[in-house]
Amino acid sequence: MLPLILEQTLNGLQYGLMLFLLAAGLTLVFGIMDLINLAHGSLYMIGAFIAAALFQQFQNFYLAVVLSILLTALLGALLERVLYRRLQTMSHLSQVLATFALILVANESIKIAFGGQPLSIELPASLSGTVNLMGEDLQYPLYRLLIIAVGLAVAIGLYVLVNKTRMGMWLRAGTSDRVMAATMGIRIQPLFTFIFALGAGLCALAGALLGPLLAVSVGMGEAILIPAFEVIVIGGIGSMRGALVGALLVGMIDSLGRLAMTGLLKSFAVSGAATLGATLASMLVSLLMVAVLFFRPSGLFPARD
């Protein structure tokens, strides 16, 4: 039983850190730019498709990941200058409608560019093995450990960026009071472009890393969008620390909750215990979000604290 719990804990850590890559950019865009971007998941999908297409072209996993990050970040910067800069002056309802329309545009554009069939990314031989964590009792995939390491490295890098650099000082100032930050001489518009490009690059990183584990398909961005919003609501809008804590909570509850619920249902001989257990685990995450909104509406670690 202990190896299974450890395995699900690592799975939850991996899932949570991938959610953090998505939520980090989303919470900065929402917290600093005051922009509701429902199309954030589409950047994740675009990054995954670019990585898959580049891998099929060059047969180099590492090159495909790096180029997908750069190209998606450039696309994000372009979208911010052309579209999102205009949306900032509009109401939240207009932002929701416009970015929802952008989801549809992105899905159809992917179909035109890459076709409607799912794409796949193969792991290089150096990353396809397993690691013995508890002798023969637990052999965990090396690639999933790499994803955990990359997620932790990005979290540390973002912490240093936000808390230890001048750019981070500007980000924190923009989160606290955008108008005052602009009055004090901070160039807000280039900062917004950088934030959006950074968020798009992180989306591409998540999509490229998950490409070998999941089917790279049209519409995959919508499936990940709801958990990403749950993360920033739980952690606190505009808070990088909140995004990390919220992502880890969501990942652990989803993974360990699924294990616990499935085991409980099997003990009562309930048919379809695995499917129902996964559903109940998702409900636990939603209940956590509701509880946070009720008792601490600004999130566990609000940016303005």
pTM above 0.85, yes or no: yes
pLDDT digits (tens, 9 = 90+) for 211-237: 999 889 998 988 888 899 999 999 988
Task: Give me the pLDDT at residue 52, please.
Answer: 94
Beta-carbon neighbour count of residue 194 at 10 Å?
18
Domains, in order of start, for the chain: 8-114+139-295 (1.10.3470)
Rama region for 193: left / alpha / beta (φ>0; ψ in -120 to 50; rest): alpha
pLDDT digits (tens, 9 = 90+) for 193-209: 898 999 999 999 999 99
Over 80: is that where the pLDDT of 84 sits?
A: yes
Task: Give me the pLDDT at residue 164, please.
Answer: 87
Task: Give me the pLDDT at residue 136, please.
Answer: 67
Over 80: is that where the pLDDT of 34 sits?
A: no
Burial (CB < 10 A; 0-12, 13-18, 19+), residue 112, is exposed
Task: Give me the pLDDT at residue 302, please.
Answer: 82
pLDDT digits (tens, 9 = 90+) for 280-289: 888 999 999 9
Cα–Cα dist 127/141, whole Å: 8
Over 90: is that where the pLDDT of 303 sits?
A: no
Question: 132 in helix, strand or coil?
Answer: strand
Over 70: is that where the pLDDT of 304 sits?
A: no
